Amino acid sequence: MDRQALIRALKQYSGGAGVIKASQFAQFLGVNRHTAKRKLAGLPAYEGIYYLVTDVADLVMKGMK
């Protein structure tokens, strides 16, 4: 999967928004919210709960190498 396709898929899970919550990311990965929060640790979060889809996509791409 390329980065742009990943961004589109993440946006789909976030209702088309440019940000995604840990619970939505968990659903995307098929894991629980606690696991998703651990994976998102270190990323900047708006109001502590919204992560930029592009940042999350970059994190996922790193993990795929």
Tell me the mean pLDDT in the region 7-36. Answer: 97
Confidence grade of residue 64 (pLDDT, cut at 50, 70, 90): confident
Burial class from Cβ neighbours inside 10 Å (0-12, 13-18, 19+) for residue 11 reads: middle
Contact (CB, 8 A) for 10 and 56: yes
Using the predicted structure, report yes or no on whether residue 65 has a pLDDT greater than 80. no
Q: How many CB atoms neighbour CB 13 within 10 A?
A: 19
